[in-house]
Structure 1
Amino acid sequence: MTTFYTMLSWLLVLGYWLLIAGVTLRVLMKRRAVPSAMAWLLVIYILPLVGIIAYLSFGELHLGKRRAERASRMWPSTAKWLRELAEYRQIFATENSEVARSLFQLCERRQGIGGIKGNQLQLLTTFEDTIRGLVRDIDLARSDIEMVFYIWQPGGLVEEVTAALKKAAQRGVTCRILLDSAGSVDFFHSTYPTQMREAGIEVVEALKVNLFRAFLRRMDLRQHRKVVLIDNRIAYTGSMNMVDPRFFKQDAGVGQWVDLMARIEGPITTTMGIIYCCDWEMETGQRLLPPPPDVGLMPFEQEQGHTVQVIASGPGYPEDMIHQALLTAVYSARHQLIMTTPYFVPSDDLLHAICTAAQRGVDVSIILPHKNDSVLVGWASRAFFNELFAAGVKIYQFQDGLLHTKSVLVDGQLSLVGTVNLDMRSLWLNFEITLVIDDDGFGSDLACVQEDYIARSRLMDESKWQQRPYWQRIVERLFYFFSPFL
């Protein structure tokens, strides 16, 4: 009996170390960033069982077998659609400004489609203006309304959108809504999905959270896009979830969320439509392809036709695309670089690019919220401030609520707005969308918005920052350790 237990214990020890060795090999073979790999290995060896479970749950980008199969099936038809779109040569820009040229070339070569001209963009800086414009466009919709949001929370002015959608569905407009399961968890536990479906609106829960499938699909992979498409000619995107900021997370102690949305009219909505169709098919298995662009809808080509490129990121899309785009934009800066983000946990490469820009004489400003709804990210962000200060970067802390806008402005000409935070989750994991705009008029509008943010912010004093208590430095470094996971 003693021999049996001895052999059993040795087998358990052997199995234990083989499991650790196998997971270690998987970490090393993934060829991930060194800081991320080292962080995972430390967690696995310091807290073996917890580390192994965490890695198998969150360490690799598992889309899930069913979604992966759908993604592989849909790409041939998507590629064919893009080739057909390329035949509409009149909608494609043939040249870009000097500061935007490298980024547009990168997008064209990696995504297979060039920048599209003849668009009109309008910045919407308040929730009320966004809802007012959205309800008006929904009321005028004739064929299709398609939406994807991370969070949908009923209440306040959101009820006006819901009512407008119900009326649209009743008059024969096809209405499809794709909502993230985790972000909209309260919505899906309410009666609203049933009410909307009974009114004729298709409501789909994306990336359902299911603990029993935790090892088959990464549970923290989220659908983070915010997009509205109407009749293949009008689109909205930006940082705003479908929530009324007057009632959203009021117990978090950060104030109302401040967002930025862009209303787009023109042929670029067609390429945004193909992204939505891919997301819809990946989740439902139902194939949708947008019609070709109506080239007659280019009234802005001669006067104010913004040249726009759309970058979609997430599993199945060009790998590392949004990260490369941000690096290219930052390295293109010659005079001024302004960035706004609620969550600042950059990669080493992006941090180096930002600091290098400041060191070569570019006026670099980063606007962050003073209070953050994520304690982990708030502390981890502070760990990067020393390097930013040393390089000459100006750091502003927004005082008037939680600044949720994600924007980059380079030399007043090249703009990036969308859903991408400057953190690891947005750069490497979630389904995100970003508009790249080459236009000094739009850049001027975005600059006015950013100047307003700065006016409502406090410029951090490096000397006071260096005098912060020692315990804060320890906490910053502790959470910095987890930055590859944030």
Structure 2
Amino acid sequence: MGARIRDWQQLWNAGLDRLEPFWPYIAAAISISLAITVTIHVAQNKRDARAAAAWTGLVWLVPVLGAILYFMLGVNRIRRRARQLTGGLIDSEDGWRVAAEPLPACGHLQELSRLVGRLTHLPLVDGNRVEPLDAPQAWRAMLAAIDNATESIYLATYIFGNDAAGKPICEALERAVQRGVKVRVLIDGVGALYSLPSVVWRLRRRKVPVQRFLYSLAPWRMPYINLRNHRKFMVVDRRLAFTGGMNIRAGYIQSPPAITDLHARVEGPVVGQLLRSFAADWVFTCREVLETSYSGKAQLGDVQARGISAGPDADFDKRRLTLLAAIGSAEKRIRIVTPYFVPDLTLLATLQLAILKGVEVQIVIPRKNNLRMVHWASLHALSWLVNEGARLYLTAAPFDHSKVMTVDGHWVMLGSGNWDARSLRLNFEFDLECYSDALTERVDRFVDSRIETALQLDTDGFRQIAPWRRIRNALAHLMEPYL
């Protein structure tokens, strides 16, 4: 046996010796084959020309390694897996027909409603009550709702801190489980690591069913590391919901607060759409199918609303197209509040067109950002809009994490999504679009309160920025597709 092994080793070594002069050609052939394969795949699957050009350049300039990185990070495997696991759940209308949906009273926004209906495959529904809440109010209301739950609690969040905000929620969820309430908690796999030790272990010790979305340190799971579930909502007893931009973190409720935000308490038939979004994420994560039927009253308020679930599992960028349509529909005023404003060139151009046709555009961002590169890129993009006539306001501390947009005093969208490439293309986001003059007036008052204490940065202010800072901002903006 030993002699046979030695013979095989000698044959192997002899073969390698004969191939030695050809190794450079073999390596070049492998490298070129990989580059051609990736280039073809990129050309067929990437809609963003800049992303396609970047990946193509990488695989040719950095042979083999570029191809490995592309197959790890550049291929969208989520869409196929989501369809396999959710079946028809994501696009199910539960008996509602988009063609029969009500139209907004404001005539010039009716086409916007029709378009978003086609994007989401969900109808605009009447009879909802939507109450905007600041972060401390929302945290207290969510805690009370958990304690009053009798049937079910479905909670999805990006960050769930193991801190002064998260621990009381954990204890309330434990009490709900002990009462026999069906509790399901979904935390993003990366967001769960923001607070260590992770709250996941605290929940599991309390017998609270919890899952982490796309969480794994295994090498074969690395292709999903860049795709995060940024949705933030809770549905209680299939009739009451909370949604918006707020994570569960102590910074929101401490005194003085380090972070401020806008969340909303939602009642009415649109809660069924939040249920559907959670159920799709839950079955995607652990294959358990949940009940998605709305159990509340059909008429609780006068807000027409629709949920917009967007993410890399969709065939097109629902949220981005909704923003483009809303900007194009505006006739008088657009107001945007966001912590991260780095839109792509199409969104920027559409905002510029709105300004040129006489629409007032107001944008509110934090004066100091927790992500410096994003802030620098934001200032560069915003300088173009301010030069066209947009009004830019920079808010002082606490850090404003709100994500709100209003149009013409009739339409409002609030939720988890920002104005950056991550929220527009990579993250799973949930936003609520609402048609209601009264609700929009309340949200506009919230925006007014931010503007009252903000610093306005006009064209003169931009000119006073040091040249080296302007260069820094411009260089940061080159990274826009990756921020």
| Fold conserved between structures, TM > 0.5 | yes
1:482 to 468, 475, 479: 479
Following the alignment from structure 2 to structure 1, what is the Cα–Cα distance between the partners of residues 75 and 378? 24
1:6 counterpart residue number: 21
Note if 1:15 corresponds to 2:23.
Answer: no
Does the C-alpha gap of structure 1 residues 375 and 25 become closer, same or farther in structure 2, counting only changes over 3 Å? farther
Within 5 Å, which residues of 2 pair with 1:80-229?
81-86=92-97, 92-125=101-134, 127-187=135-195, 190=197, 192-214=199-221, 217-229=223-235
Does the C-alpha gap of structure 1 residues 72 and 211 become closer, same or farther in structure 2, counting only changes over 3 Å? closer
* SS at structure 2 position matched to 1:417: strand
- Give the C-alpha shift of residue 2 in structure 1: 8.6
Contact kept? 2:158, 2:191, Cα under 8 Å: yes
Contact kept? 2:153, 2:182, Cα under 8 Å: yes
1:392 counterpart residue number: 389
Following the alignment from structure 1 to structure 2, what is the Cα–Cα distance between the partners of residues 449 and 212? 45
Following the alignment from structure 2 to structure 1, what is the Cα–Cα distance between the partners of residues 251 and 381? 29
Following the alignment from structure 1 to structure 2, what is the Cα–Cα distance between the partners of residues 192 and 150? 12
Contact kept? 2:128, 2:304, Cα under 8 Å: yes
1:331 counterpart residue number: 328
Contact kept? 1:272, 1:310, Cα under 8 Å: yes
Does the C-alpha gap of structure 1 residues 100 and 21 become closer, same or farther in structure 2, counting only changes over 3 Å? same
1:428 counterpart residue number: 425
Following the alignment from structure 1 to structure 2, what is the Cα–Cα distance between the partners of residues 194 and 403? 30
Contact kept? 1:57, 1:219, Cα under 8 Å: no
1:401 to 380, 398, 403: 398
- Give the C-alpha shift of residue 353 in structure 1: 0.8
Amino acid at match of 1:110: L
Following the alignment from structure 2 to structure 1, what is the Cα–Cα distance between the partners of residues 387 and 202? 55
Identify which range, 432-441 or 376-385, moves more after superposition: 376-385
CA-to-partner distance for each residue in 1:6-57, whole Å, 9 max, x for gaps? 3101211222233223323322222422223233344445555554444333
Alignment RMSD (CA, Å): 2.5
Amino acid at match of 2:107: E
Does the C-alpha gap of structure 1 residues 332 and 361 become closer, same or farther in structure 2, counting only changes over 3 Å? same
- Give the C-alpha shift of residue 114 in structure 1: 1.5
Following the alignment from structure 1 to structure 2, what is the Cα–Cα distance between the partners of residues 478 and 56? 28
Does the C-alpha gap of structure 1 residues 246 and 346 become closer, same or farther in structure 2, counting only changes over 3 Å? closer
1:243 counterpart residue number: 249
Within 5 Å, which residues of 2 pair with 1:20-35?
20-35=35-50
Does the C-alpha gap of structure 1 residues 39 and 473 become closer, same or farther in structure 2, counting only changes over 3 Å? farther
Identify which range, 25-34 or 415-424, moves more after superposition: 25-34
Does the C-alpha gap of structure 1 residues 484 and 415 become closer, same or farther in structure 2, counting only changes over 3 Å? same
CA-to-partner distance for each residue in 1:73-105, whole Å, 9 max, x for gaps? 4233555x5242449x7xx53444224312210
- Give the C-alpha shift of residue 328 in structure 1: 0.5
Following the alignment from structure 1 to structure 2, what is the Cα–Cα distance between the partners of residues 14 and 61? 27
Does the C-alpha gap of structure 1 residues 467 and 43 become closer, same or farther in structure 2, counting only changes over 3 Å? farther
Following the alignment from structure 2 to structure 1, what is the Cα–Cα distance between the partners of residues 191 and 167? 18
Does the C-alpha gap of structure 1 residues 246 and 31 become closer, same or farther in structure 2, counting only changes over 3 Å? closer
Contact kept? 2:369, 2:375, Cα under 8 Å: yes
Q: TM-score, normalised by structure 2?
A: 0.90
Following the alignment from structure 1 to structure 2, what is the Cα–Cα distance between the partners of residues 14 and 375? 43
Identify which range, 314-323 or 424-433, moves more after superposition: 314-323
- Give the C-alpha shift of residue 331 in structure 1: 0.7
2:264 counterpart residue number: 262
2:374 counterpart residue number: 377
CA-to-partner distance for each residue in 1:93-135, whole Å, 9 max, x for gaps? 344422431221012223333211111111111x221121111
- Give the C-alpha shift of residue 442 in structure 1: 0.4
Question: How many residue pairs are counted as aligned between the two chains?
Answer: 467
Identify which range, 140-149 or 67-76, moves more after superposition: 67-76
* SS at structure 2 position matched to 1:82: coil
Within 5 Å, which residues of 2 pair with 1:249-398?
256-294=258-296, 296-300=297-301, 305-398=302-395
2:74 to 41, 59, 70: 59
CA-to-partner distance for each residue in 1:179-238, whole Å, 9 max, x for gaps? 001011155x537434423433101111114250256x3311001100100011110000
Contact kept? 2:170, 2:202, Cα under 8 Å: no
Does the C-alpha gap of structure 1 residues 349 and 186 become closer, same or farther in structure 2, counting only changes over 3 Å? closer
1:440 to 437, 444, 466: 437
- Give the C-alpha shift of residue 342 in structure 1: 1.0
Contact kept? 2:416, 2:429, Cα under 8 Å: yes
* SS at structure 1 position matched to 2:204: helix
- Give the C-alpha shift of residue 475 in structure 1: 2.3
Q: TM-score, normalised by structure 1?
A: 0.89
Following the alignment from structure 1 to structure 2, what is the Cα–Cα distance between the partners of residues 214 and 202? 23
1:40 counterpart residue number: 55
Following the alignment from structure 2 to structure 1, what is the Cα–Cα distance between the partners of residues 201 and 93? 36
Amino acid at match of 2:299: M
* SS at structure 1 position matched to 2:87: helix
Following the alignment from structure 1 to structure 2, what is the Cα–Cα distance between the partners of residues 39 and 448? 43
Contact kept? 2:165, 2:253, Cα under 8 Å: no
Does the C-alpha gap of structure 1 residues 451 and 27 become closer, same or farther in structure 2, counting only changes over 3 Å? same
Amino acid at match of 2:211: V
Does the C-alpha gap of structure 1 residues 317 and 34 become closer, same or farther in structure 2, counting only changes over 3 Å? closer
Q: Which ranges of structure 2 fall in alignment gaps of 5 or more residues?
A: 1-15
Higher Rg of the two aligned structures = 2
2:459 to 455, 458, 462: 462
- Give the C-alpha shift of residue 440 in structure 1: 0.6
Contact kept? 1:333, 1:410, Cα under 8 Å: yes
* SS at structure 2 position matched to 1:476: helix
1:71 counterpart residue number: 83
Contact kept? 1:61, 1:429, Cα under 8 Å: no
